[in-house]
Amino acid sequence: MKQFVIFVKKEWLHIWRDRRTLFILLFMPIIQIVLYGFALTNEVKNSRIAVFDQSRDEATRAITGEIGASRYFNLVKNVYSYQGVEATFRKGEIRLAVVFPRGFRYDLLHGNHAQVQLIADASDPNTANTLTNYASSIINNYQQTLQPAATLPYTIKTQVRMLYNPELKGAYNFVPGVMALVLMLVCAMMTSIAIVKEKEMGTMEVILVSPLKPFRIIIAKTIPYLLVSMVNIASILLLSVYALDVPITGNLGLLIAESIVFTITSLSVGILISNTAKTQQTAMFTSMMSLFLPTLLFSGFMFPIENMPAPLRVISNLVPAKWYFIIVKDVMIKGLGFTAVWRETLILVSMTAVLLGVSIYKFKIRLI
């Protein structure tokens, strides 16, 4: 046990002496949270739009006023021809154009089939979709205020309630995502590199000749990274609660316990990689290819898994981060208890057992 402690201390010294890496490890999650939280948001605000009003009547002015007043849009230009609309799009000045045809108000009141054209820059399809939806709903609202009494005999009114995230904040999605990504990276990539480094330096051989048990060596190497991960979890949670107003709805203890389970899964992945990699570069590359990208792509944090073709959906099941992402969302955002996430937890635990089993089997006490 004393030898074990000495080893952990030594490992800690490696991390402590390499200030630059330590700095990156501790600040990466903070920077990611800040980036996703404030800069890389996919919420639509103040999109620049233009209006091509061929009717110029009371109704079109009212609708234009409503749209311009909304926090989603910023009316930057009035254009007077379709050529003008196209030119403005080409220059990239606007994301959306609203076109009212001639005689809009007359059609609205008499013909009952008034039309508005929404032209969106669909080179960014998601934003285009969002913008047209917002604009349509503003126009619908106007219609309702115009004819409150005109109740049709049969109407279906949809009432939408956004559960768990009424303000539709992106942070509710990316905080769990960043947690999964950071833990995977710190635990798996850093430990695999740390182990392979000793092989490369030749110190692993000397340690293996010593009476230390090989598997204890590996465990000792992972412990400092486990601690770093705990600090990261704390900083992510504090930031999300106090800077991004994402509350921890569920049980904090459960959230931390689940995070520890996932950390151990990640550490086992790292150990497995270190078993096969011979150089630090290989370890780094294997980690990037087998962890970073799949975590980003298949955790469900960036791209919805439901929309993927079946083979990719199957692959996504092998990515531990996917399950952890679900757990964090359920516990942290939805406030669910262990009964809701036991299945995912079981999957993580089984993955860990398999990974560790394979690692122990493959880990060579004798080098050749």
Partner 1 sequence: MEKENVIVTNELTKRFGYFTAVDKISFAVQKGEIFGFIGANGAGKTTAMRMLCGLSLPTSGTATVAGFDVYKQNEQIKKNIGYMSQKFSLYEDLTIRENIRFYAGIYGLEDRRIREKTALLLQQLHMEDQQGTLVRALPLGWKQKLAFSIAIVHDPAIVFLDEPTGGVDPITRREFWSLIYEAAARGITIFVTTHYMDEAEYCDRVSIMVDGRIDALDKPASLMQQYNSASMDGVFLQLARKATRTEDLIE
In the bound complex, what is the minimum distance in angstroms from residue 276's beta carbon to partner 1?
18
In the bound complex, what is the minimum distance in angstroms from residue 290's beta carbon to partner 1?
27
If the CB atoms of residues 10 and 102 are measured against partner 1, the closer one turns out to be 10
Binding residues for partner 1, per CB under 8 A?
2-3, 6-7, 10, 13-14, 17-18, 201-203, 205-212, 366-368
If the CB atoms of residues 126 and 210 are measured against partner 1, the closer one turns out to be 210
Q: How far out from the chain centre does Cα 135 lie?
A: 27
Residues 6+ apart with CB under 8 A from 275: 359, 362, 363
CA-CA distance, 82 to 75, in Å (whole number)?
A: 17
In the bound complex, what is the minimum distance in angstroms from residue 193's beta carbon to partner 1?
14
CA-CA distance, 321 to 337, in Å (whole number)?
A: 19
CA-CA distance, 344 to 347, in Å (whole number)?
A: 5
In the bound complex, what is the minimum distance in angstroms from residue 22's beta carbon to partner 1?
12
In the bound complex, what is the minimum distance in angstroms from residue 366's beta carbon to partner 1?
5
If the CB atoms of residues 110 and 216 are measured against partner 1, the closer one turns out to be 216
- DSSP H helical segments within the chain, as ranges? 2-17, 19-34, 58-69, 82-90, 104-106, 125-146, 171-184, 191-201, 203-209, 214-242, 252-276, 280-287, 293-298, 310-316, 320-328, 338-362
If the CB atoms of residues 6 and 31 are measured against partner 1, the closer one turns out to be 6
If the CB atoms of residues 116 and 204 are measured against partner 1, the closer one turns out to be 204
Asked whether 265 and 320 are in contact (CB, 8 A), the reply is: yes
CA-CA distance, 119 to 106, in Å (whole number)?
A: 23
Per DSSP, the three-state class of 247 is: coil
If the CB atoms of residues 13 and 314 are measured against partner 1, the closer one turns out to be 13
In the bound complex, what is the minimum distance in angstroms from residue 91's beta carbon to partner 1?
55
